[in-house]
Structure 1
C-alpha cells in the first residue's frame, strides 16, 4: 500500500498544489491561457512523438485493442445518454452532455502522467492510441447529437467539415500521426532536436496536472447535478470494469497495455466536457460540478484500482 500511496501522492499532489495556489493568488482563469497553450500545443505533443517514434510499427496497429477500449467508452456514453433521455423525455442536448460526463475521461491531462508514472514508458503507446481514437469519437458525437437536438444550426456540409477539422488539426493527433510515421521510417531526429523534445516531454505531466488543479479551483461549484451519483458510478467504477472485461475478452494483450486502458477508463470527467457544454450553452454549471466532484472522488477510486493492480488482486487476464 505504501508503494501505491507513493505513486499517487505526487500525481494528485500536483493537482492539489495547482488548486491551492489558484485559491491563494486569485489570478483569473484567463491567466492560465499560455500554460494551456504550452501543454496542448508543445509539451504533450512532444511526449507523444518521442515515445511513439521509438516504438516498432507493428505495435501501433493493435486494432482489437483500440476497438475494445473505444467500444467500452461508447457503451458508457450510450447508457448514460439513454437513461437521461428517458428521464428528461427527449432532451437530447442535455443528455449528450451527461453522456459525455459519464464516458469522456481526463485522458489528455491526467492520462499520460499517471500511466507513465504507474507503468513506465511502455504505457505511452496504448495511452496515445486510446487518446486519439476516443477523441475522434467524442469530437464526432458532440456536434452530431447537438445537430439532432436542433442546437447546432450549421448546414450538414459545414458541420461535417468542422468535425473533420477538429479531428485532423488537434495537436495531439497530429503529433501521434507524425510519431507513427517516424516509427515506420525508423527516423530519429538530430541530437539537439532530440534533447529539446526530451525537455518538453518531461515538462508535460507536471504542467498539465498543475494547470488542471488551477482550472478546478477557479470554476465555481454552484449547481450540483442530482445525476452526479450515477455519473460518478458509471465513470469511476463501471467504465474501468467494462474496459477490463472487454479487453480481456477480445484479445491477449500485455499486462501494461491492458492496465493502461483500464486506468484511463477510471479517470474522472474530462475538462473538455465543460468546454463542449459552454460551447452549446447546455448543462454548463452542472458539467463543471461533475468534473470537480468526480476528480475529488477519483483520489480514492484510482488509488484503489492501482492497489488492486500492484498487489495482483486484479489478474492481467480475466479469461486466461
Structure 2
C-alpha cells in the first residue's frame, strides 16, 4: 500500500507543478495544448515502443484487453439504456457522446503514469490503449458519423448525402487508425517483441531519452488544464447527464472490471488490481475533442472530463486500498 500511495504522491506533485505553471502563466497561454501535443505526438509513441518491445506480446493481448473491451461496452450500454428513459429529449448523437464520457478512459495521459508509478509497469496500460485506439475509436467514429448524418438527413431529406457520408466515414476510420501515433508506436513495439529485433544502440538510447519526456509532460499538461475550470453550471442544463455519466465512469465501470477480472477471468490479486485501477481512470479528453468535431454533447463531455478527473485520484486510491 505504501508503494501505491507513493506513486499517487509523485503523480499529484507533478500535476500541482503543472497547475502552478498554468496559474502563473510561466509558459504562456498555449502551454497546455503544446505540452499535450508533445506528449501525444512526440514522447508517447517512443514510450509505448520501448515498453512493448520489451514485453510479452501474449500478455498485452491477453485477459486485460478483453476486460477493457467488455467493461467499456457495458458502461456505455448502461448509459444509453438509462438515458433512453431519463433523458428523453437528448439527440442520439449527444447520448453517444455522453456514453463515451462514461466509458472512454484517459488511458494515455494518466493511464501510463498510473501504470508506471502505481501499478509498477507502464505496459499495464497498453491493452487499454490498444483497445481504445484500434477497436473503440473506429466504432464510435463510425457511429457518430452515421448518427449525425441521419440527423442531418432528417433536416435535409437527402439520401445522397448519407450515402456519400457512409464511405467518407469508412475512409476517416481507416485514416484515424493507421495515422494515430500511439497505434504506430504500439504496433512497432509489438513487431519488435514478436520478432525479437533490436535497435542500433545509439538509436535505442535516443528513443529512450525522448520517451522519458512523456509522463512529466502529460501530467503537467493535465495540471495546467485544471486552471479556471467551472463545471456543472446549472444554466447549461446538463447536470443530470454529467452526474449519470460520471457515476457510471467512476463506480460502475471499475466495479464491472473488478467482477470480470475476479470471477470471469479469475486473475491473480495484482492483475485484478490492475483491471480495477485502470477502469477507475477519468474520462479521456478525446471525448471533448469528438464532441467538438461533431458539434454535439459539448457541455456533458467537458463537465464529465473535469468532474471525473478531479474525483478519479481519490477513487483510485480507494480501489487500490481495498485491493492492494
The answer to whether the superposition gives a TM-score over 0.5 is yes
TM (normalized to structure 2)?
0.86
SS at match of 2:105: coil
**Corresponding residue of 1:316:** none
- Aligned residue pair count: 307
TM (normalized to structure 1)?
0.87
Residue deviations 1:37-88 (CA, integer Å, cap 9, x gap): 22112211111111111123433442x4422221110110111122223333
**Corresponding residue of 1:157:** 167
Structure 2: give runs of 5+ residues left out of the alignment.
Answer: 153-160
Measured after TM superposition, the shift of residue 28 of structure 1 is 6.2
* 1:78-227 matched pairs, under 5 angstroms: 78-89=77-88, 91-121=91-121, 123-124=122-123, 126-135=124-133, 136-149=135-148, 150=150, 155-217=165-227, 221=231, 223=233, 225-227=238-240
**Corresponding residue of 2:66:** 67
Measured after TM superposition, the shift of residue 100 of structure 1 is 0.8
Q: Is the 8 A contact 1:74 1:103 kept in 2?
A: yes
The worse-fitting range, judged by mean Cα deviation, of 236-245 and 147-156 is 147-156
The worse-fitting range, judged by mean Cα deviation, of 252-261 and 75-84 is 252-261
Measured after TM superposition, the shift of residue 177 of structure 1 is 0.8
Matched residues in 2 for 1:132 and 1:2: separation?
Answer: 30
The worse-fitting range, judged by mean Cα deviation, of 71-80 and 197-206 is 197-206
Matched residues in 1 for 2:55 and 2:207: separation?
Answer: 16
Moved over 4 A (4+): 26-29, 151-154
Residue deviations 1:237-262 (CA, integer Å, cap 9, x gap): 11111011112333244544432222
Measured after TM superposition, the shift of residue 99 of structure 1 is 0.5
Structure 1: give runs of 5+ residues left out of the alignment.
Answer: 311-320
SS at match of 1:245: helix
**Corresponding residue of 1:277:** 291
Matched residues in 2 for 1:293 and 1:107: separation?
Answer: 17
Q: Does 1:293 align with 2:291?
A: no
Residue deviations 1:222-278 (CA, integer Å, cap 9, x gap): 736322332222111111110111123332445444322221110111111111111
